[in-house]
Amino acid sequence: MTFQDIVFYFFAIILILSALGVITSRNPVYSALLLVLSFVTCAGLWLLLEAEFLAITLVLVYVGAVMVLFLFVVMMLDINLDRLREGFWKWFPFGALIAIVLVAEMAMVLMGGNFGLDQMPAPSPQAADYSNTKELGRLIYTEYVYAFELAAVILLVAMVAAIALTLRKRMDKRSPDPSKQVAVKSEDRLRIVKMASERKE
């Protein structure tokens, strides 16, 4: 057992336990936090695979942005666990069916011999000055440029749709418009009147 193995098992155990915690925890805030923990340990595992760009991006995008909003929503909701559990046994067969299908699909992929050690030998370690980021950029902008552009367009459409869905002006409420407020000049509000000084006779 080398040092790397110890690091791997350390991350792997935390990852599995925190992933289990996500689905078993009763408090949704704990679930979200455990999901954050599993993302971070997953990034650690990716670092061991020398995929530093992907590992750091995972932390940056999912932990730094997506999970913040997630946690936020979970905290704002007043979740009543008793009401959530009401229909548990009624829906159990349906859920079990989906779980079985999922397990079968994963088993087909993982046991199909596509991921054995003979199919995927351990990658040879790269030199210290090898830039993962540069290689990734080169691949994305040459070989996979159409797929990349397509993904970008889909994301843009989703963003425009999300903004269009929420952008509506409420007529029944008065609210300040900061752009108008900061554009105000003193001449708009204040009129200086010149007048001759009065004198007491």
Partner 1 sequence: MEHIQQLFEQLFGTDWGSMLFVVVKTLALILAIVIPLLLGVAYLTFAERKVIASMQIRVGPNRVTFFGIPWLRGWGQPIADAVKAIMKEIVIPTGANKFLFILAPIITIAPALAAWAVVPFSPEMVLADINAGLLYILAMTSLGVYGVILAGWASNSKYAFLGAMRSAAQVVSYELAMGFALVCVLMMSQSLNLGDIVNGQQGDSFINWYLIPLFPMFLVYMISGVAETNRAPFDVAEGESEIVAGFHVDYSGMAFTVFFLAEYANMILVATLTSIMFLGGWLPPFNIEPFTMVPGFIWLLLKIAFVLFLFLWFRATFPRYRYDQIMRLGWKVFIPITLLWIFVLGTVMQLPVSVQESFPLNLWF
Binding residues for partner 1, rule: CB under 8 A, are 2-3, 29, 33, 36, 52-53, 56-57, 59-60, 63-65, 68-69, 71-72, 75, 131-133, 175-176, 178-179, 181-182
Q: Name the residue nearer to partner 1 (CB basis): 93 or 176.
A: 176
Q: Name the residue nearer to partner 1 (CB basis): 166 or 175.
A: 175
**Cα–Cα dist 135/131, whole Å:** 7
CA distances 13 to 22, 58, 84, 163, 185, Å, are: 14, 19, 30, 40, 62
Least distance in angstroms from the C-beta of 13 to partner 1:
19
CB 18 within 8 A of CB 34: yes
Q: Name the residue nearer to partner 1 (CB basis): 109 or 159.
A: 159
Q: Name the residue nearer to partner 1 (CB basis): 86 or 135.
A: 135
Least distance in angstroms from the C-beta of 90 to partner 1:
32
Q: Name the residue nearer to partner 1 (CB basis): 4 or 119.
A: 4
Least distance in angstroms from the C-beta of 133 to partner 1:
6
In the numeric block, the tokens 């009065």 are attached to: 198
Helix or strand run (H / E) with residue 171: none
CB 43 within 8 A of CB 55: yes
Least distance in angstroms from the C-beta of 79 to partner 1:
13
Question: Reduced to 3 states, what is the DSSP secondary structure of residue 19?
Answer: helix
Least distance in angstroms from the C-beta of 92 to partner 1:
31
Query: Minimal CA–CA distance to 17: which of 32, 38, 36, 47?
Result: 38
Least distance in angstroms from the C-beta of 62 to partner 1:
10
Q: Name the residue nearer to partner 1 (CB basis): 19 or 63.
A: 63
Question: Reduced to 3 states, what is the DSSP secondary structure of residue 188?
Answer: helix
**Cα–Cα dist 16/9, whole Å:** 10
